[in-house]
Homo-oligomer: A and B are copies of this chain.
Amino acid sequence: MKSIKRLKPLAAVVGAGRTKFGELWYKNPEELLTEAGLKAVESVEYGLMRKDLQACYFGSFLYQVTNKLALVPGYMARELGMNIPMSNTEAACGSGGSALYNACLGIRSGEYDVALVGGFEKMTDRSEKIIDDLMFAGDLHEFGAGYTFAGLYASMMARYIHDYGDGSDGKCREALALITCKNHLHAMGNEYAQFRREFSVDDVLNSPLVADPIRMLHCSPVSDGAVALVVVSPEVAKKYTDTPIYIVGSQQATDDVSICSRESLTGIKATRLAMEKVLKETGMTIGDIQVAEAHDCFTIEEIFFLEDSGFCKEGEGWKIVYDSYESFNGSKHIPYVNGNRELVVNAGGGLKADGHPVGATGVRQVYECFKQLRGEAGGNQVDTEPNVALCHNIGGTGGIATVHILMRDLSKS
């Protein structure tokens, strides 16, 4: 870890706030975002003055169709009572990560020292139409052919099982269910999580079939919620807190929106490209990462993350999951182990159990890592006092992937 100490941070997180995730029918999306934003501002250790805040970066996906809402900057100018520059970025399920990515560039430009970054989604009120609307994140031809969003991931999961899991006596399918069990276990200590309830492998494999081989309990839920961060330049971070969490890597890659044109169905090219870039940017290896928020919209995607990130080889992700569960000792987190690498993935429950208010997710991941690295994650705090965390946020079936690496200030250690 010595080399990491000399990294030049891109930005620093000095405050974070979030709403509970779930069915929050009593609040409009801009109110959820404001609630998270004010919590983030109030969480800043030495206070954040109104005049200090210079810009906002928001991310959301379906706010237009679900809430007849656009021009989020105008809504937030009212909610916050401010006239500062504001940007709203849409990249489907990757909207939150995309907003943070733009915020980091804004901070690095020198134009701003202090920005509020927020992600939000209000989906549950429109659940009868949401299955169609979610296909906006797929390709129109896939939609026309009858695909649902779960159907797209079912194709990928089926191909993965075919290529790598056949002949494993059902252990690959069991691993895909164990991810659900793990993430729900992880959420048990998370007071904001949408679902704090444990499931067995049998529960998962007997849950209703959504799109073969995906069953209901392989899927992340439809959720409402918002999360916000106060992101500042590294130079001013210590003005706001003694324990800033530094963003040392911020990278993004894109790929064809349609799975039909991809080189492979058993991995996400955009994740691989973004991971390569962020490891190069930070000079780290995947072994340096201690906790990770992976984009587990469906459990197969968490296995893809393990493989696309280089934590293990392609086709071996399910074995890592299976073996890690086998050797589980009964603590509140189940780390993935591969040789001398140990990685806690989705310590707060991930998209699966914490919930997936789409535009909020990429920001929620950073919230979780911020709390974990500060040792402030409460009931779901990991025991290992991690120094380095990674957030992995994708849009659609991998049309975009954004990764951020965060770390504690190690200059004193």
Contact = CB atoms under 8 A, between A and B. Distances in A.
Interface of A: 61-62, 64-65, 68-78, 82-92, 94, 98, 101-102, 104-106, 108-111, 135-137, 139-140, 143, 251-258, 261, 269-270, 273, 395-396, 399-400
Number of copies: 2
Given A83-B269, A83-B273, A89-B88, A399 B71 contact: yes
A234 B74 CA distance: 32
Given A73-B400, A74-B255, A77-B399, A98 B109 contact: no
A283 to B, nearest CB: 17
A391 B253 CA distance: 31
B109 A105 contact: yes
A98 B84 CA distance: 13
Contact of A86 (B77, B82, B85, B254): B254
Q: Which of A90, A254, A270 has its CB near the most chain B CB atoms (within 10 A)?
A: A254
A73 B75 CA distance: 25
A64 B108 CA distance: 31
Contact of A64 (B62, B89, B261): B62
B71 A91 contact: yes
A332 B375 CA distance: 68
A258 B78 contact: yes
Nearest to A56: B254
Contacts of A101: 85, 87
B136 A254 contact: no
Given A61-B70, A395-B71, A396-B74, A83 B136 contact: no
Q: Which of A69, A84, A88, A396 has its CB near the most chain B CB atoms (within 10 A)?
A: A88
Contacts of A139: 74-75
Contacts of A258: 74, 78
Given A71-B396, A399-B77, A253 B84 contact: yes
Given A83-B270, A88-B89, A98-B87, A70 B137 contact: yes
B105 A75 contact: no
Given A71-B396, A74-B254, A77-B256, 8 more contacts: A64-B136, A69-B140, A71-B137, A78-B261, A83-B253, A83-B270, A87-B91, A106-B109
A78 B253 contact: no
A30 to B, nearest CB: 9
A70 B121 CA distance: 15
Contacts of A253: 83-85
Contacts of A88: 89-91
A70 B136 contact: yes
A90 B105 contact: no
Given A83-B255, A258-B78, A269-B83, A73 B140 contact: no
Given A65-B65, A105-B105, A400 B91 contact: no
